[in-house]
Amino acid sequence: MRQRSILTLVLLVAVLIAGGSYLSVFNPITNHLKYGLDLRGGIAATYQAEPRPGEPVDSKTMSKAIQILSFRINKLGVTEPVIQQVGKTRISVQLPGVKNQEQALKFLGETAQLEIKSPTGQVLLTGADLSNAVGSIQQGQYGVSLTFDSKGAAIFKAASIKYLHQTLPIYLNGKLVEAPVIKQVIAGGQAFMSGNFTSLKQAQNTALLLQSGALPVPLKRISLVTVSATLGHQSIIASERAAAIAIVLIALAMIFWYRLAGLLADIALGAYAFLLVGALWAIHATITIPGIAGIILSMGMAVDANVIIFSRVREEMVNGKTPRAAIEVGFRNAIRAIMDSNATTFISAIILFFLGSGDVKGFALTLMIGIIISLFTAVFLTRAFIRLAADAGWARIRAVFVG
């Protein structure tokens, strides 16, 4: 009995330490997490649809706008962008790891409204009639090669017959770009627009904007956060350091107060940390700065259950119970208090989760998961440890608690 208990305890601790060191040194779990853009660098923006009078915004307009934004973002080559509707008329866009942030922002918010008008100013063709647009160089000039779809090509052909030897002005966003003279009938549905582009890149951008189509509703940017990769990196280092120092301080405090029991609680706390981070990894949570704050804070809270239990066990021992009985009674009495006291924190976290915005949600989620996991590690894991230690007759367990 006694030897078996010692063996089980040593084995359990060894397995936990081996697992912990594998996940922190050899294959750090932190390498597998998805970091938010406050830690990776990138752009987060919120756009509000500002409907034109008489054109109400409905869910169809919004999904069209999201589709267009997604197309543009894909062309930027951003990996793992998040584009989602927030509320009824807002779209939030998150672009982690974007290098040229200014240019990306310009590209997102811009519209390219193409119009080809008749000499009398009547609109003949718009960007909606295009099947393709490509930035190119023709006769040493930067420009955009336009290809119309079959309907557009037919209109274009008819117009080139009707207005032969006249000008067909091209407008981009309401501004006259050029007014070429139609010298011959154009049948293939092809045209070349030479704006005043100063680089091929600029022409290509305009071409992409034309390809993505015009936004069905003007979008106003109502919030913007940009974080450079350098700052993100600094934040990761700062949070890691804060987390490490917090763990060490808490662990030392527990050992100082509760000696061997404190040490066992510290091992349970280590298991807690890995389980929490593992759970965040498993649900593909995005780790942000507030999320890390949630992790660090919850570690301070996680030992609370152990503090309640140990104080209780100590009390029962002082009242004259045998170690084994005191441990059983202490745990049993403490669990109700632990459940009740965690419930209110959990309630606040739920409210934060449903009312908060993106990164506040992350904090709330971390807190909720943390509370549940800490109930497991602080109650069941530590109880297993302490029971084994008591069975092993180790270290005059009474002295451990009573001090």
Q: Tell me which residues in 96-125 interact with another protein (CB under 8 A).
A: 101-102, 105-106, 109
Q: Is 399 in the site for another protein (CB under 8 A)?
A: no
Q: Is 382 in the site for another protein (CB under 8 A)?
A: no
Provide, rounded to whole angstroms, the least separation between the CB of residue 104 and another protein: 12
Among 17, 164, 343, 372, binds another protein (CB under 8 A): 343
Main-chain dihedrals φ then ψ at residue 27, nearest 5 degrees:
-140, 70
Report how far Cα 156 is from the mean position of its chain's Cα atoms: 46
Phi-psi region of 180 (alpha: psi -120 to 50; beta: other; left: phi over 0): beta
Q: Is 179 in the site for another protein (CB under 8 A)?
A: no
Helix (H) or strand (E) holding 234: helix 229-282
Among 177, 250, 389, 397, binds another protein (CB under 8 A): 250
Spatial distance between the Cα atoms of 242 and 229, rounded to a whole number of angstroms: 20
Q: Is 230 in the site for another protein (CB under 8 A)?
A: yes
Provide, rounded to whole angstroms, the least separation between the CB of residue 247 and another protein: 9
Q: Which two tokens stand for residue 59?
A: 């869910």
Among 76, 281, 356, 384, binds another protein (CB under 8 A): 356
Which among 181, 179, 189, 298 has a CA at the least distance from the CA of 246? 298
Note the helical H segments in 42-142: 59-76, 101-109
Q: Is 198 in the site for another protein (CB under 8 A)?
A: no
Q: Is 77 in the site for another protein (CB under 8 A)?
A: no
Spatial distance between the Cα atoms of 283 and 293, rounded to a whole number of angstroms: 18
CB 111 within 8 A of CB 173: yes
Helix (H) or strand (E) holding 264: helix 229-282
Among 181, 355, 372, 399, binds another protein (CB under 8 A): 355
DSSP string, 15-66: HHHHHHHIIIIIS-GGGGSEEPHHHH-EEEEEEEE-PPTT----HHHHHHHH
How many residues bind another protein (CB under 8 A)? The answer is 71
Provide, rounded to whole angstroms, the least separation between the CB of residue 53 and another protein: 19
Provide, rounded to whole angstroms, the least separation between the CB of residue 318 and another protein: 7
Q: Is 388 in the site for another protein (CB under 8 A)?
A: no
Spatial distance between the Cα atoms of 142 and 123, rounded to a whole number of angstroms: 25
Looking at residues 149 to 168 of the shown chain, list those that interact with another protein (rule: CB under 8 A): none
Residue 254 or residue 373: which is nearer to another protein going by CB? Answer: 254
Among 14, 15, 18, 225, binds another protein (CB under 8 A): 225
Among 67, 199, 322, 357, binds another protein (CB under 8 A): 357
Q: Is 173 in the site for another protein (CB under 8 A)?
A: no
Among 12, 301, 329, 384, binds another protein (CB under 8 A): 301
Among 98, 289, 365, 373, binds another protein (CB under 8 A): 289
State the amino acid at position 105 in one-letter form. L
Provide, rounded to whole angstroms, the least separation between the CB of residue 25 and another protein: 22
